[in-house]
Amino acid sequence: MKKKILVLCTGNSCRSQMAHGYLEQMGGDLVEVYSAGVETHGLNPGAVAIMAEDGLDIAHHTSNHVDDYRHIAFDHVITVCDHARERCPWFPTEAMMHHENFPDPAKAKGTETEVKQAFEHTRNLIKSWCSAFVQQHIQQS
């Protein structure tokens, strides 16, 4: 049976979308991945672009609110920023809760190159974390 995973961040525009893409790719047929935010900000073009550079197309993802998924019995709920962890509304679940606070590349300032580097840095952190998560919680279960 597929493991159902929900990835949460503030606006469901960058970090949760990146994690969604990697968890889907790395978990394959073993997972069913959803992502949402405590708010919805729309898909960030910088996140789409930086993921495409790593061979993942997340352009078809949508920005969803956590309330959209209250009816799903998740196996894992992952918060990828402190703000979402603090504001995440309670909903009935027996899911394992996981948390990692990744920097928000959407808040990066500076030149185009510096902003791109911020997106790349966050992407690489998320990719590494997702790889370890899948090995520990999906492939070994």
Whole-model pTM: value is 0.94
Q: Could you give the C-alpha distances from 10 to 15, 26, 84, 85, in angstroms and in order?
A: 9, 23, 5, 9
Domains and their CATH numbers in the chain: 3-134 (3.40.50.2300)
Concerning whether 130 is annotated as a catalytic residue, the answer is no
Q: Which of 58, 81, 95, 134 is catalytic?
A: 81
Cα dihedral sign, 100-106-109-115: positive
Which range among 16-20, 27-31, 59-63, 137-141 shows the weakest confidence by mean pLDDT? 137-141
**What proportion of the chain, given as a percentage, has pLDDT over 70?**
92
Q: Could you give the C-alpha distances from 43 to 33, 37, 40, 46, 95, in angstroms and in order?
A: 16, 11, 9, 9, 26
Return the amino acid letter for 139.
Q
Q: In terms of C-beta density within 10 A (0-12 exposed, 13-18 middle, 19 or more buried), how is residue 140 classed? A: exposed
Q: Tokens 């902003």 appear where?
A: 115
Q: Which of 5, 6, 8, 9 is catalytic?
A: 9
Concerning whether 14 is annotated as a catalytic residue, the answer is no
Q: Which of 88, 106, 126, 134 is catalytic?
A: 88
Confidence (pLDDT) at 55: 98
